[in-house]
Amino acid sequence: MGLVYIFLSAVCSLAIAHFLKYSGVYGHSILKILIINYLIAFGIAVGYSLFEGINPIPGFPLWFWVFAVFVGILFISNFFVFGKSVHVNGVGVSVAAMRISLLVPVLLSMIFYREEITILKMAGIVLVFAALGILIVSRRDVKIGVIGSQGLLLLLFVFSGIADGSMKVYEEEMQHAASEYQFMSVVFFTAFLIGVAVSVYQKSLSFSRSEISLGVLVGLPNLFTSIFLIRAFAYMDGSVVYSMVNMIIVAGGALIGRFIWKDQISARQWAGILFAILAIAILVNG
């Protein structure tokens, strides 16, 4: 059953990348799609909690609320950057930059949770920076507002790493305080409120049918990619889960970008993607 959850988590992540690429290509507002996405994900998380007989919003301690709200802000920021990056940098390159951020929870595990530091893990860390360097340097920098396409890849790496690290903290420190659906419902509702606040500030809170539809299509896999990942941990070691999920996503993202969206991937970028897959394998199995 663990392999099924791993596969489903990877498929959900790839579906998100595909729909965000679609929204960028056809000129839809990524922010509005994310607002609908988080509203849908929140509704499903609350509904599932009620179905299971769990109070979706019990009396959580203050530290839990602070952490969950921080993660919610981080989630919508990260997905906004990801949506911009898949449009400019392509699906494969963006997914690779996003997934090598696995470095952050690995470092977190070694520093705070006393997991063993091995030569292989150190080699994996070096490969992460090599892969990130290749992916960024091999891109011609295209300005998107004040941030270039190379800057988007770097931001994607940083935001995704902190987001991955937050899931590790939840797994280690907070599962006793809240189920995954309770935790994710607070995270998604926070992200939804942040998106609405930004849209109100921009005086742009009207939604087209296409944006609503895309928001629903992104919201469903957005919830379940995290849920399936957490469920996989119950059947298999974290190192195996992280390794398989991320390698499937990086390889699948490259194939979707190249063959569905006809993204131009240079030889250097293919090398960066391969380095990313190798780094992931070493980091979680070293």
Q: pLDDT at position 141, please?
A: 53
Terminal alpha carbon distance of the chain: 24
Q: pLDDT at position 56, please?
A: 72
Q: pLDDT at position 145, please?
A: 55
Residue 13's nearest CA partner among 257, 248, 264 is: 248
Global pTM value: 0.84
Q: pLDDT at position 129, please?
A: 82
Q: pLDDT at position 102, please?
A: 79
pLDDT < 70 regions, the chain: 58, 137-146, 239, 286
Q: pLDDT at position 110, please?
A: 77
Q: Which two tokens mark 28?
A: 């839809």
